[in-house]
Structure 1
């Protein structure tokens, strides 16, 4: 029996990850990682880049990311494993591609939580400046790690409360914005968030596409849902996995639905809030484009000018708490990825140990790495910029290999039954084209770090090969 098959059997016998998550828990983790008000920090940049068509940017970005969500839904149904894209590429493309996909995803999963922790530390330091931001950052790591070590259900319950708070704050903003717009009217044209405000010339599709490459980064994290595939309860008896095996596939169907629902809901929230704040924004997009320093606070400035400082403070507190719990979801996903790669002996085997159905060793390892990165950045003036510039390349490279896995599994290996050319070829090829285009648009520094990380991973792969580890096998889904 293959290692993958043995691990799957161990899980079924209760010696692997504990199945305790439902659809709501998965959506909570996904939305926590994304954050319902993710556009707050990048609104000004996107408004300037798109010539004022910021809501249209998020419409296009949601459609673009839908290709990736669709590919995840295809693969999780046939390879419902904790390693997510690592497991998919390993099953469809072979051991080498699987390792590369997992290695690149690690860059994303380990550093995105560090960025979120740092954001939380900065926000708390602004409220209580007597305490250094690196102390707040470390405290956020400790609290959320403790929740993760208590189990996915405990973390999901705490996360649900935080997510509810963020949604309430978002609703307060929406209602307040609608009241102001009803009383005072819009600062810009009602169609300008979709067609541009005209201050930088006529509508330019190229400007919108250029801004999409930045907006796509707001969605990174929804894919973390797939890492919980081995901890999801089934939908009920009688649901069977495609391809045989006789075991219920309800859990993988739940993951697929959660992925698609989470992305769609995030897209609606992003479009709605950017549309409203663009109408409230007193500064034209041309002025923001000419003053990059004003772009980071553009959302808050618009809220201050139209609604009041009280809403500014409410949003800021919500973002501080929400960022810490976004990191909680990211840390949990990173732990599952390390666990899966350790189980397949692509990382130290100790990472695959479980305690009461939890990958505690992998979680602690992820927490330590994230803590070091976050505190290091918190003690530097340019720490945020350095982290943000590199977190995205890993995810986008992993997404590209995800799309390749769909083609490899269904169209090349024909392991999933009859081939649907639009689902198994057209959609993943289009998705890969989008992710590659975003990688090309990334900063030179991010590309350099991504290339260096990939080079280190290839060296690790060569070393493993030299020790006699298999690198050409194509394991099935288990």
Structure 2
């Protein structure tokens, strides 16, 4: 009797230990819908179009707003796919987990390494935008020097600790949203007072005739602004309320980012003193086109404010 009881007790303890081990291996479900949206905006950056505005204006023939409308629709297919897959495979691996579940170990392995490459390229692009922003503030210092400085500062911040980096990230997001609102209000005020430099519909039709191929070519650059929003799916095991909340956050974050990007592109294109053809003929001016536009239309104070915000936000 005692042997049997001991055996049963041993199994029960083992099962309990195994269950405890599995419980410890799980991520804590503490994130809500708002948290997911905030993280999504942190990954995207609300003022992402600032760094590529000049390039998009030149490539699209002035139809910057339309470029972001098309880019948002294109990215919506990705967002919808993620929203469906997160319900099927509610795991933290995101695209790796989806490819592994749907296609097998080999494709999953390749998808995982491609995602890793993605997360290496995103910071590289962000550092470059930071360098461009700081160069707009201090033109005497090369943008590559500023870019290297951004790498060093960000590395030190991450070495400082996860909590510190998270606090700084939320503070930077709040700052960037505030500066974006200041730009939107200031741009509208200038347009009401002085009128637009281009036609009111040209951000959708182009300032020198519409070209579908030019718009689609610019879309391939505009999608850089959305890099990172899919990382919301990586929190599938940390969110309360199940995978449906992750799916809603993915779609909502993309729609919100698309609205902000279209608004920025539309207003900046109306204030741009140069034509898209002039920008196309001067590639060196494209990187700082947004800052130059703000400087000439609103004032140096907003130019500096946007440059500082973009430099910090990108890094």
Of 302, 308, 316 in structure 1, the residue corresponding to residue 299 of structure 2 is 308
Change in Cα spacing, 1:167 to 1:11, as seen in structure 2 (3 Å) is farther
Q: Distance in 2 between matches of 1:231 and 1:155?
A: 19
Q: How far has the Cα of 1:147 moved from its partner?
A: 4.2
Tell me the equivalent position of 1:259: 250
Q: How far has the Cα of 1:111 moved from its partner?
A: 2.8
Of 180, 188, 191 in structure 2, the residue corresponding to residue 181 of structure 1 is 191
1:217 equivalent to 2:229? Answer no
1:51 equivalent to 2:61? Answer yes
Q: In proportion to residue count, which structure has more helix?
A: 2
Q: Provide Cα deviations, 1:227-276, integer angstroms capped at 9, x if missing partner.
A: 121122x22xxxxxxxxxxxxxx2x1121111111100000000001100
Q: Distance in 1 between matches of 2:298 and 2:166?
A: 33
Of 36, 47, 50 in structure 2, the residue corresponding to residue 40 of structure 1 is 50
Change in Cα spacing, 1:227 to 1:122, as seen in structure 2 (3 Å) is same
Q: CA RMSD in A?
A: 2.2
Q: Provide Cα deviations, 1:313-367, integer angstroms capped at 9, x if missing partner.
A: 100111122113xxxxxxxxxxxxxxxxxxxxxxxxxxxxxxxxxxxxxxxxxxx
Q: How far has the Cα of 1:221 moved from its partner?
A: 0.6
Q: Distance in 1 between matches of 2:159 and 2:77?
A: 32
Q: Provide Cα deviations, 1:173-210, integer angstroms capped at 9, x if missing partner.
A: 01111111011000000010011112xxx311111111
User: Structure 2: any 5+ residue segments left out of the alignment?
Assistant: 1-18
Q: Provide Cα deviations, 1:211-240, integer angstroms capped at 9, x if missing partner.
A: 1111112111101111121122x22xxxxx
1:146 equivalent to 2:160? Answer yes
Q: How does 1:125-204 map to 2 (within 5 A)?
A: 133=146, 134-148=148-162, 150=163, 156-198=166-208, 202-204=209-211
Q: How does 1:15-414 map to 2 (within 5 A)?
A: 15-117=25-127, 119-120=129-130, 123=133, 133=146, 134-148=148-162, 150=163, 156-198=166-208, 202-232=209-239, 234-235=240-241, 250=242, 252-324=243-315
Q: Distance in 2 between matches of 1:37 and 1:136?
A: 17
Q: How far has the Cα of 1:48 moved from its partner?
A: 1.1
Change in Cα spacing, 1:155 to 1:135, as seen in structure 2 (3 Å) is closer
Q: How far has the Cα of 1:123 moved from its partner?
A: 5.0
Q: Distance in 1 between matches of 2:30 and 2:42?
A: 18
Query: Which one has more relative contact order, counting CA pairs under 8 Å at least 6 apart?
Result: 2
Q: Distance in 2 between matches of 1:268 and 1:27?
A: 14
Q: Distance in 1 between matches of 2:86 and 2:20?
A: 19
Change in Cα spacing, 1:136 to 1:215, as seen in structure 2 (3 Å) is closer
Change in Cα spacing, 1:19 to 1:114, as seen in structure 2 (3 Å) is farther
Q: Provide Cα deviations, 1:19-69, integer angstroms capped at 9, x if missing partner.
A: 222222211121111111111111111111111111000000000000000
Q: How far has the Cα of 1:16 moved from its partner?
A: 3.1
Whether contact under 8 Å (1:124, 1:136) holds in the other structure is no
Aligned length: 292
Whether contact under 8 Å (2:132, 2:288) holds in the other structure is no
User: Structure 1: any 5+ residue segments left out of the alignment?
Assistant: 1-8, 236-249, 325-478
Structure with max Cα Rg: 2
Q: Distance in 1 between matches of 2:161 and 2:254?
A: 25
Q: How far has the Cα of 1:139 moved from its partner?
A: 2.1
Q: Provide Cα deviations, 1:450-477, integer angstroms capped at 9, x if missing partner.
A: xxxxxxxxxxxxxxxxxxxxxxxxxxxx
Whether contact under 8 Å (1:49, 1:208) holds in the other structure is yes
Q: Distance in 1 between matches of 2:112 and 2:215?
A: 32
Q: How far has the Cα of 1:122 moved from its partner?
A: 6.5
Q: Calculate the TM-score normalised by the size of structure 1.
A: 0.58
Whether contact under 8 Å (1:11, 1:17) holds in the other structure is no
Q: How far has the Cα of 1:138 moved from its partner?
A: 1.4
